[in-house]
Amino acid sequence: MNNEDEIKKLEEKLEEIRRAKKDVEESFSHSPDIRRQILLNLYAQEKFLQKLIDEKQTHEQEEIE
């Protein structure tokens, strides 16, 4: 798998996490503590994946140059 494919898979996963965040916000309105914990977890995953994508894109740019 090349770097471009890896980035695409990571971006797809990132979109899944963003959709999950929206679902959690709607589904757990009756349990704010549970909602907060799940959202914190998803937020951390989102930030980690975004950082990974940024690093891979930077690495890919460096290889091109």
Q: Are 52 and 10 in contact (CB under 8 A)?
A: yes
pLDDT value, residue 1:
62
CA 13 remoteness from chain centre = 6
pLDDT value, residue 14:
96
Per-residue confidence in pLDDT tens, the chain, 65 aa: 688 899 999 999 999 999 999 999 888 888 899 999 999 999 999 999 999 999 989 987 777 77
Greatest pairwise CA separation for the chain in angstroms: 52
